Structure 1
């Protein structure tokens, strides 16, 4: 009966609403937050399918909001091209163990977020260094994305180091995540591993995710720069600890 599914649908909606808030505030974290809780309610493949549309749409929205799209594209296109190249290269490599990949990523986020909370920051690279580092960071991020499905390291620490304000950083993360998501989807489709029928079910989860993200972006706008940075690094620590604990 329909009413038997209402509590389950309500719980899923609350999860995606909360994940949207996290993403709106930090510019990242929707898949990690949602997967961790959805995994308590349903099999992992079903949970991953539900994430497809909310993850893609919220990343695309985030990349378009902020008014700095063209300047960021001119500045970051080598990194984005590197992401695509890295995902393509990952197709020729053996897949990484899921648990090992999660723990390594979580450990990296814990170290990076903890160092940020402690006031240790990466030195801002010069324009000449960025011209070389951008494609390298993008390629490594693409390889990690292709092997593990996670597109955070090393793109997030690099983007945080290039002296972007909070809104530029959120938009830059959206561009990076959108590129990674699309490249990964194309790779999975080419390998016959992407279940579009299951992903279409995630359309129902899109509305609460977008509502949560809108609220999170409003909260971010009301924060001062120092508070946002503390929340950003604390969020990285929380996400890293979540991945390691799982």
Structure 2
């Protein structure tokens, strides 16, 4: 890869890591959207997947709620793995370019409804079966787009978690989802030595961005955290749609 492209990768993952540090998610979404401007989505995901797994593992154990999170979210995680397996191969298929557009629109709609205080709750007695269904849908979408925020994120928010618990829960869930997605990439032959250098740069910049983002998050009030989280979702959705449309037009 050329030096300018490596610099672009570094900047993309610094920004993606910062957003993940602040809101608890967004690294694959931001990085995929940025990298898709300069390379095919399949190649972009091959660079994104390892930093996403490692940063998610870090986020998974950055809190005391791990056992409770697994107890509450295991149907969501198993359903997601099943959905990813069922939809294996869609990321590089002929309709793959529609996935980011649909996902971006869903992110924007979700964030706008959240900003206007439209919300729903899932009763504890319904968490397991609803979580399993949400997981399967999330897995199917993830296998086609490379990201796992819809509809898992609204579900995790709906079951009622505090700010830090929700961030750790996102880390646990995304670790499972990205590992499952990595198996799809390996089966498709998308991971190899060619991604080693950009992957190492991406990982270093992701951690730097996450560290800065976590410093910002620790100084936010809960309502400010929620507001900026939803604003970030709108920006992520708009950028994802714009980059996907631009890529389609330019090709």
TM-score (norm: length of structure 2): 0.87
Q: Which runs of 5+ in 2 are unaligned?
A: 244-251
Equivalent pair of 2:28/2:147 in contact (CA under 8 Å) = no
Listed as ranges, the matches of 1:69-80 within 5 Å are 69-80=66-77
Equivalent pair of 1:52/1:199 in contact (CA under 8 Å) = no
Cα distance, 1:156 vs structure 2: 0.6
Cα distance, 1:188 vs structure 2: 2.7
2:220 is equivalent to residue 223 of structure 1: yes
Give per-residue Cα distances to partners, 1:159-188, cap 9 Å, x unaligned: 111111111111111112111111111123
**2: CA distance between counterparts of 1:245 and 1:93?**
21
With over 3 angstroms needed to count, the CA separation of the structure-2 counterparts of 1:241 and 1:153, relative to structure 1, is same
Equivalent pair of 2:27/2:52 in contact (CA under 8 Å) = yes
Cα distance, 1:198 vs structure 2: 2.9
Cα distance, 1:41 vs structure 2: 4.4
Provide the residue aligned with 1:166 in structure 2. Answer: 163
| Number of equivalenced pairs | 241
Listed as ranges, the matches of 1:52-131 within 5 Å are 52-91=49-88, 95=93, 97-122=95-120, 124-131=121-128
With over 3 angstroms needed to count, the CA separation of the structure-2 counterparts of 1:96 and 1:80, relative to structure 1, is farther
**1: CA distance between counterparts of 2:89 and 2:186?**
15
Equivalent pair of 2:122/2:158 in contact (CA under 8 Å) = yes
2:210 is equivalent to residue 213 of structure 1: yes
**Secondary structure, in 3 states, of the residue corresponding to 1:66?**
coil
Cα distance, 1:217 vs structure 2: 1.2
Cα distance, 1:24 vs structure 2: 0.5
With over 3 angstroms needed to count, the CA separation of the structure-2 counterparts of 1:231 and 1:96, relative to structure 1, is farther
Cα distance, 1:204 vs structure 2: 2.3
**2: CA distance between counterparts of 1:40 and 1:96?**
18
Equivalent pair of 1:22/1:213 in contact (CA under 8 Å) = yes
Equivalent pair of 1:141/1:155 in contact (CA under 8 Å) = yes
Q: Which runs of 5+ in 1 are unaligned?
A: none
Cα distance, 1:55 vs structure 2: 1.2
TM-score (norm: length of structure 1): 0.89
Provide the residue aligned with 1:148 in structure 2. Answer: 145
Q: 1:198 aligns with which of 190, 194, 200?
A: 194
With over 3 angstroms needed to count, the CA separation of the structure-2 counterparts of 1:153 and 1:47, relative to structure 1, is same
**2: CA distance between counterparts of 1:16 and 1:36?**
11
Equivalent pair of 2:16/2:27 in contact (CA under 8 Å) = yes
With over 3 angstroms needed to count, the CA separation of the structure-2 counterparts of 1:96 and 1:230, relative to structure 1, is farther
**2: CA distance between counterparts of 1:41 and 1:93?**
21
